[in-house]
Amino acid sequence: MAQKYELRQMNQPKPNPFDNALEQLRIAAEYLKLDEGLHQMLASPKRQLTVSLPVKMDNGSIHVFTGYRVQYNDARGPFKGGIRYHPNVSLDEVKALSAWMTWKTSVANIPYGGAKGGIICDPKHMSQGELERMTRRYAAAIAPLIGPYKDIPAPDVYTNAQIMAWIVDTYSTLEGYMTPGVVTGKPISLGGSLGRDKATGRGAVFCTVEAAKVNKIDLKKATFAVQGYGNAGSFFAEILQTYGAKMMGASDSRGAIASKTPMDADKLIAYKAKTGSVVGFPGSQPISDKELLQMDVDILSPAALENSILPDTAKGIKAKIITECANGPTTPESDKILHANKVFMIPDILANSGGVIVSYLEWVQNLERIGWSEAEVNDMLEKKITGAFHDVHAASLKHGTDMRTAAMIVGVGRVAEAVKTLGTFP
């Protein structure tokens, strides 16, 4: 009998993520005074692919998974974007993520467009063999659309370097020659970049450091909480604590915790690796996810999934700075509430762009057959993302807007200029 997957039940209805993305685009388009035709072009994905993936499960049955790849815009360079494995993957989610990736690469000012992919599955209940067979089937299905000069996938939620390695092998087998540059986020042995594993969290920390300067917050005295103690969230915590900041709360898919005394980020990483969750960490108390988001801390990082901060939650947020390690965690209505409450938002398309910046550096290393040290990669990441932060902050001061709107003005503006300059064919 085919394996069955249950979708996560929501306590309250969540907004459509693509509607959120389109609303953010609409606001930026008004500031940029885009004509209607150009606005419509930027609101429409260039290409959407849905694939059916029959996979033989360990018990001998066949389960047909559904996968997506959305290529949103490539006016500034090849499509770029991660692949996520999650029960709640949907076409609208992937469309939204591909749009955000388009603006993200533009804000970071790297020569990429935006794309995203995903498969509806529950990887936590799949064996390594099942994951490999599903990944290879997906890679074969999207192979005609991807490539080092077309579309370069990368890891995202519940995908990793091993999954990228399977994609490299499948794609290279079909092409007839080894093509490591088809994806980024690969193992180092296959041409992956040093520093890539911590790049998203490290880049978010670099942005937080700049935001603390702007808001006159002493990081040595600052406290923070992280929603979503996965790859990005845990490395964000690990690196931010080296600046002296103290972690007081964290969460993962199994629950949230808080502590009256600072929690060591490295020990929490080790505890989760051993037990599978942050829940039960010595010295902590269980709390609700909403309580975590509304903790009395200086810095809050939503690093889980989209639509985490809904209006009811936003009203009670006490953090002075929000650093969005996740994609789309805050709804447009919540943005208005947070801005009115003078919360300094580092939006996702800026805050978590460290991953795609180092992915770009990995891609360059693959194409040029060169290799940089981790220190060199981290230095280039810091310069690139710090420059992006100040571009966005300057736009925010110029237009008198919040940082999200400013980031969209910068990102959409650069893509719009590229689209206009290219013209339309035929």
Q: Give the long-range contacts of residues 249-253, CB within 8 A, separation 24 or more.
A: 249/225, 249/287, 249/292, 249/295, 249/297, 250/225, 250/226, 250/278, 250/281, 250/292, 251/226, 251/227, 251/278, 251/289, 251/292, 251/304, 252/228, 252/277, 252/278, 252/279, 253/277, 253/304
Contact 244, 222 (CB under 8 A): yes
Give me the half-sphere count of Cα atoms (radius 13 Å) on the Cβ side of residue 93: 22
Q: Is 425 left (phi over 0), alpha (psi -120 to 50) or beta?
A: beta
Task: Measure the CA–CA gap between 336 and 23, rounded to whole angstroms.
Answer: 13
Compute the distance between CA of residue 296 and CA of residue 222 in angstroms, rounded to an integer: 11
Residue 124 a catalytic site member: no
* Cα 340 to Cα 319: distance, rounded to the nearest angstrom: 13
For tokens 């998203």, what's the residue?
200
Which of 80, 116, 198, 320 is the catalytic position?
Answer: 116
* Residues with active-site annotation: 116
